[in-house]
Amino acid sequence: MTDDLATLVAVESPSTDDEALAVSARVVAALGTRLLGTAPQRHGPHLVWRHGPTTVLVAGHHDTVWPVGTLARWPFTIDGDRATGPGCFDMKAGLVQLFHGLATLPSLDGVTVLVNADEEIGSTGSRGLIDEAVTGARAALICEPSATGGALKTARKGIGRWRVEVTGRAAHAGLEPHLGVNAAVELAHQTLAVAALGRGDTTVTPTLADAGTSDNTVPAGAALTIDMRGFDPAEFTRVETALHDLRPVLPGAAITVTGGVSRPPMPPDASAALHRLAHVAAARLGQPALPGVAVGGASDGNLTAARGVPTLDGLGAVGGNAHAEGEWVDLAAMPGRAALLAALITQIRSA
């Protein structure tokens, strides 16, 4: 398993690099073919293994947030039971566990495996594949990294993404600034209004902002990107309504709002029954109880849960520092997590 992890991490696969993803898909396909005994269906960089009508969907992704060139300064490294390297925790170790766990099953009947290449950027290109693969399934098991200490992810916030575009009027900043309508100033007003929309565990965060074309021109245009996270579907309606109700502060400015919900929340009841089964599977394997936690990040588990399919997430690697320099994997935990996945699939299929 460690050797397979080293092989996957050695192939960089940022979500927006088509050439790198094509190479990564070939490496992941080869690993899956060796361990599952069948080759995947290829959909560009997305891979699907089907073994009859879907009873259980097992899902993961091979794209990462790390740009090509990261390995040159931060190579795959092992120190005792800890491995580090870009993408090792999120989520190449989860893929290794997935394939090794499934390889122990006497039959893969009813098991569909989907490994996509755009999860980190919203699964926009693979969403149709996910919807198709999970149709008719009794369960979706998501091999994303575990929460702290190996905890499973039993609820996830949804994600909303919007863009506020401001149109003003350009003018010479030295000669006639009074003739302009400063889109940057208007955007500042709107940014403060947007930031005030968060409440409770709902976060509304202005992220990217840009304005202007030159340093001596009143900006005629400006734009703001907004990231929203929340557990309550009603909160998405509230925030979206408030965004579309934004009104300009400066005379002559105009506002356009686009975007929407990219991933709906994954509620706790989507995972409750599977979480209980995971406890039973862990006990039979002599493993400790598996706590469940609600997390702010989203995954493809949000999409499968939205289709009404029971979904359990966080079945991947134990480790930490996802999306951060120094992300790491507990190598000693990998065989046990692979065994847990296999045992859980066995219970679901026999239910």
Q: Cβ(115)–Cβ(46) under 8 Å?
A: yes
Q: Which of 119, 120, 300, 330 is catalytic?
A: 119
Q: Which of 64, 72, 68, 77 is nearest to 28 (CA)?
A: 64
Domains in the chain, CATH or no CATH each:
2-157+265-350 (3.40.630.10), 158-263 (3.30.70.360)
Q: Which of 152, 128, 102, 104 is nearest to 282 (CA)?
A: 152
**Whether residue 144 lies in the annotated active site:** no
Q: pLDDT, tens digit, for every residue of 326-342?
A: 999 999 999 999 999 99
Backbone angles phi, psi at 315, to 5 degrees: -85, 5
Which tokens hold the place of 57? Answer: 């969907």
Q: Which pLDDT value is given to residue 138? A: 98
**Distance from C-alpha of 84 to C-alpha of 77, rounded to nearest angstrom:** 5
Average pLDDT on 181-209 reads: 98
**Whether residue 4 lies in the annotated active site:** no
**Does the pLDDT value for residue 351 go beyond 90?**
no
Q: Which of 63, 90, 186, 327 is catalytic?
A: 63
Q: Cβ(329)–Cβ(90) under 8 Å?
A: no
Q: What is the pTM of this model?
A: 0.92
Q: pLDDT, tens digit, for every residue of 145-167?
A: 999 999 999 999 999 999 999 99
**Residue with the two structure tokens 């965004």:** 243
**Does the pLDDT value for residue 77 go beyond 90?**
yes
CA 308, 312, 316, 320 dihedral sign is positive
Q: pLDDT, tens digit, for every residue of 39-67?
A: 999 999 999 999 999 999 999 999 999 99
Which tokens hold the place of 263? Answer: 């991933």
Q: Which pLDDT value is given to residue 180? A: 98
Q: pLDDT, tens digit, for every residue of 104-132?
A: 999 999 999 999 999 999 999 999 999 99
| Residue-averaged pLDDT of the chain | 97
Q: pLDDT, tens digit, for every residue of 256-287?
A: 999 999 999 999 999 999 999 999 999 999 99
Task: Sort 237 into a burial class: Cβ within 10 Å, 0-12 / 13-18 / 19+.
Answer: exposed
Bridge partners for 206 per DSSP = 226
Degrees to nearest 5, angle at CA 322 with 316 and 324: 160
**Does the pLDDT value for residue 207 go beyond 90?**
yes
**Does the pLDDT value for residue 184 go beyond 90?**
yes
How far is residue 149 from each of residues 24, 32, 264, 289, measured CA to CA in Å?
Answer: 29, 27, 26, 11
Q: Which pLDDT value is given to residue 59? A: 98
